[in-house]
């Protein structure tokens, strides 16, 4: 009786009225929590076994009954032949099923069974319910559109903690990497699905023609950072989307490469570059290139920031004269800052301990001002940090000025701190150059373009010239120890270059005018500091002219004095 009942109804499931199977439907079907009269749902690919056996069995019974009632001569013999034929058919089907079962056996033993054991108690399915009726795991997830499916009982509430546990169980038992997770909890058909994510290419090399063909036509203001899934270019428009960019990544993850890839593209379109690199050797590719200023000492970095900010202020004032549709007459300036965390610390220490000043370092203030002004004045900060904390970025408000954050080789805590609005946290992996480019609340997995130093150099030097139009203090460049220093050392960025040395009566400044706090920041020191130094004498420059109580100096002599002082003071730095 029980055999017949099971043939007709299948196993009882959650209660007597809920069965695992139906009569006509192929495959294992069930309706969880719905009346038996409603159409059952077919789960996964299923097995046609039970329905075939039932239908064939029923037909055989009806046929035998029919033959028996007619009882013509030879009907028993014919019936025997039919039975043999039917038996052979059933055997063939079973044989076919068996070979399939044999093929899947390893897969089930290795993946499905352990997951079944771990997941079944969480979902509350009875032990006699076959795993394949609620769980489908394709042998190769990457090639399967359906992916892994876990059908959920109708009573499943899906509280956050339960969901998380179920997700963790599936991902750990099946060793799934970074996958799309989809919960469907509406209507009757509840399930959880894991599908493979489309991934970016494994490598994106600048030397590949296909990559070059993407980079070459890119908009000058929108350098290509890398390629996303399907080879889609990922870039950020510095003029319209985000003027500054930060990369937060562990050591060796490819920070310097990313910065140089972006910088080289911008230089190719005519931008000039200021590199602030305490590590000294991160950007050898740019050494000696036209339009590049390389600052290695903390004193140079301090000065460069102060000067850049003064220049940006000046551009800001000039910007009023130009409408939105007019090209401003200045060059895009890119400031590449390595090791943000230690540079900020060193700047503060330099101001306090070496210059013996109090308060916030003017270089740190200048850095913040650059962040706030960036877009309008086309001065862009590209910053690298091991961990892009608010403290190292100059405070939370300053950090918010970085519209684009690229994360690579991060841990969960770092992501939650920097991009709390973007969930779920992706798995970071160890592949070099693999990053997540986050902009406007979305992060895109991207394989960053890789350029060798030589390629960067050649690309930056080709295209539009990157030479800075204005450079009023050639002597001062010498003091920075670089042949092509191009940071405009005067705060006002005059469009037409003129050398103050040609006209000694013009271009002289008082200490008041030269100071950073009272005047035009010809040097990065405060008035009080300059005045005391002048009173002490020593190697402080002599005034070129004295007009009554006004003592006038050439800005260059003051700048040289500051440079030499910083150099001798910074010693081993």
Ligand X SMILES: Nc1ncnc2c1ncn2[C@@H]1O[C@H](COP(=O)(O)OP(=O)(O)OP(=O)(O)O)[C@@H](O)[C@H]1O
Query: By Cβ distance, which residue is nearest to Mg ion?
Result: 256
Taking the C-alpha atoms of residue 336 and residue 272, their distance in angstroms, rounded to an integer, is 11
C-beta atoms surrounding 48 within 10 Å: 14
CB of 262 to ligand X, least distance (A): 12
Interaction partner, residue 251 (Mg ion, ligand X, none; CB < 5-8 Å by kind) = ligand X
C-beta atoms surrounding 280 within 10 Å: 12
Q: Is 249 helix (H, G, I), strand (E, B) or coil?
A: strand
CA 337 to chain centre: 19
Q: Is 434 or 565 the residue whose CB approaches ligand X more closely?
A: 434
C-beta atoms surrounding 267 within 10 Å: 30
CB of 438 to ligand X, least distance (A): 17
Q: Is 19 or 409 the residue whose CB approaches Mg ion more closely?
A: 409
CB of 259 to Mg ion, least distance (A): 8
Residue 99 burial by CB count (10 A; 0-12/13-18/19+): exposed, middle or buried? exposed
Interaction partner, residue 399 (ligand X, Mg ion, none; CB < 5-8 Å by kind) = none
CB of 305 to ligand X, least distance (A): 21
Q: Is 433 or 507 the residue whose CB approaches ligand X more closely?
A: 433
Q: What number of CA atoms fall less than 13 Å from residue 261's CA on the CB side?
A: 31
- Asked whether 200 and 226 are in contact (CB, 8 A), the reply is yes
Residue 89 structure tokens:
């058919």
Strand boundaries in 332-479, DSSP class E: 333-337, 379-385, 404-408, 434-439, 442-448
Interaction partner, residue 271 (Mg ion, ligand X, none; CB < 5-8 Å by kind) = none
CB of 469 to Mg ion, least distance (A): 30
CB of 440 to Mg ion, least distance (A): 27
Nearest CA to 409 out of 389, 385, 430, 423 is that of 430
Residue 19 structure tokens:
């069965």
Q: Is 136 helix (H, G, I), strand (E, B) or coil?
A: strand
Residue 497 burial by CB count (10 A; 0-12/13-18/19+): exposed, middle or buried? exposed
Q: Is 211 or 306 the residue whose CB approaches ligand X more closely?
A: 211
Q: Is 247 or 534 the residue whose CB approaches ligand X more closely?
A: 247
Nearest CA to 523 out of 563, 480, 483 is that of 563
Q: Nearest 5 degrees, angle CA 371-CA 376-CA 382?
A: 40
Rounded to 10 degrees, the C-alpha dihedral 355/358/359/362 comes to: -20
Interaction partner, residue 492 (ligand X, Mg ion, none; CB < 5-8 Å by kind) = none
Enclosing H/E stretch for 271: none
Q: Is 306 or 336 the residue whose CB approaches Mg ion more closely?
A: 336
Interaction partner, residue 405 (Mg ion, ligand X, none; CB < 5-8 Å by kind) = none
Judged by the rule CB under 5 A, the positions of this chain that interact with Mg ion are 255-256, 282
Query: By Cβ distance, which residue is nearest to ligand X?
Result: 433
CB of 485 to Mg ion, least distance (A): 22
Interaction partner, residue 450 (Mg ion, ligand X, none; CB < 5-8 Å by kind) = ligand X
Q: Is 128 or 251 the residue whose CB approaches ligand X more closely?
A: 251
Q: Is 255 or 526 the residue whose CB approaches Mg ion more closely?
A: 255
Judged by the rule CB under 6 A, the positions of this chain that interact with ligand X are 203, 249, 251-257, 282, 432-433, 448, 450
Interaction partner, residue 433 (Mg ion, ligand X, none; CB < 5-8 Å by kind) = ligand X
Peptide bond into 424 cis (omega under 30): yes
Q: Is 373 or 443 the residue whose CB approaches ligand X more closely?
A: 443
Interaction partner, residue 432 (Mg ion, ligand X, none; CB < 5-8 Å by kind) = ligand X
Interaction partner, residue 530 (Mg ion, ligand X, none; CB < 5-8 Å by kind) = none
CB of 380 to Mg ion, least distance (A): 19
CB of 284 to ligand X, least distance (A): 11
């Amino acid at each position: 009786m029980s055999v017949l009942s099971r043939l007709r109804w299948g196993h009882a499931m959650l209660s007597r009225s809920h069965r695992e199977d139906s009569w006509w439907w192929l495959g294992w079907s069930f309706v969880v929590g719905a009346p038996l009269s409603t159409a059952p749902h077919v789960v996964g690919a299923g097995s046609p076994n039970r329905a075939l056996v039932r239908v064939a069995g029923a037909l055989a019974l009806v046929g035998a009954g029919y033959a028996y009632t007619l009882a013509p001569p030879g009907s028993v013999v014919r019936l025997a032949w039919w039975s043999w034929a039917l038996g052979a058919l059933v055997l063939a089907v079973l044989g076919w099923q068996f070979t399939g079962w044999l093929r899947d056996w390893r897969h089930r033993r290795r993946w499905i069974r352990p997951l079944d054991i771990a997941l079944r108690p969480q979902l509350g399915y009875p032990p006699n319910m076959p795993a394949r009726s609620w769980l489908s795991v394709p042998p190769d997830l990457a090639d399967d559109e359906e992916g892994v499916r876990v059908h959920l009982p109708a009573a499943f509430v899906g509280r956050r903690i339960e969901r998380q546990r179920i997700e963790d169980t599936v991902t750990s038992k099946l060793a799934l990497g970074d996958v799309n997770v989809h919960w469907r909890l509406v209507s009757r058909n509840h399930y959880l699905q894991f599908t493979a994510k489309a991934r970016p290419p494994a490598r994106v090399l600048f030397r590949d023609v296909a990559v070059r063909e993407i980079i070459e036509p890119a908009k000058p203001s929108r350098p290509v950072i890398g390629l996303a899934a399907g080879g889609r270019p990922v870039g950020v428009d510095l003029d319209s989307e985000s003027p500054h960019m930060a990369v937060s990544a562990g050591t060796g993850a490819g920070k310097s490469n990313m910065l140089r890839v972006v910088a080289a593209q911008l230089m190719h379109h005519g931008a000039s570059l200021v590199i602030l690199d305490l590590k000294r050797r991160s950007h050898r590719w740019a050494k000696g290139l036209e339009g590049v200023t390389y600052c290695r000492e903390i004193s140079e970095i301090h000065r460069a920031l102060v000067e850049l900010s003064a220049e940006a202020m000046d551009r800001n004032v000039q910007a009023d004269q130009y409408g939105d549709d007019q090209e401003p007459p200045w060059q895009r300036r890119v400031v590449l800052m390595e090791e943000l965390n230690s540079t900020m610390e060193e700047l503060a220490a330099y101001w306090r301990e070496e210059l013996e000043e109090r308060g916030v370092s003017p270089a740190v203030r200048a850095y913040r001002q650059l962040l706030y002004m960036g877009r309008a004045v086309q001065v862009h900060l590209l910053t690298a940090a091991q961990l892009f904390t608010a403290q190292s970025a100059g405070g939370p408000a300053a950090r918010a000025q970085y519209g684009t954050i690229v994360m690579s080789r991060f841990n969960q805590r770092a992501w939650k701190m920097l991009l709390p609005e973007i969930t779920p946290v992706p798995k970071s992996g160890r592949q070099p150059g693999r990053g997540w480019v986050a902009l406007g609340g979305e992060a895109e997995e991207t394989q960053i373009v890789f350029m060798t130093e030589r390629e960067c150099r050649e690309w930056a030097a080709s295209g539009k010239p990157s030479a800075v139009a204005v450079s009023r203090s050639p002597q001062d460049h010498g003091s920075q120890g670089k042949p092509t220093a191009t940071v405009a050392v005067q705060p006002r960025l005059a469009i037409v270059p003129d050398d103050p040395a040609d006209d000694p009566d013009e271009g002289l400044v008082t200490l008041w005018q030269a100071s950073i706090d009272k005047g035009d920041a010809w040097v990065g020191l405060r008035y009080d500091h300059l005045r005391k130094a002048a009173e002490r004498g020593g190697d402080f420059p002599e005034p070129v002219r004295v007009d009554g109580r006004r003592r006038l100096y050439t800005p260059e002599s003051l700048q040289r004095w500051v440079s030499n002082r910083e150099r001798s003071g910074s010693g081993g730095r």
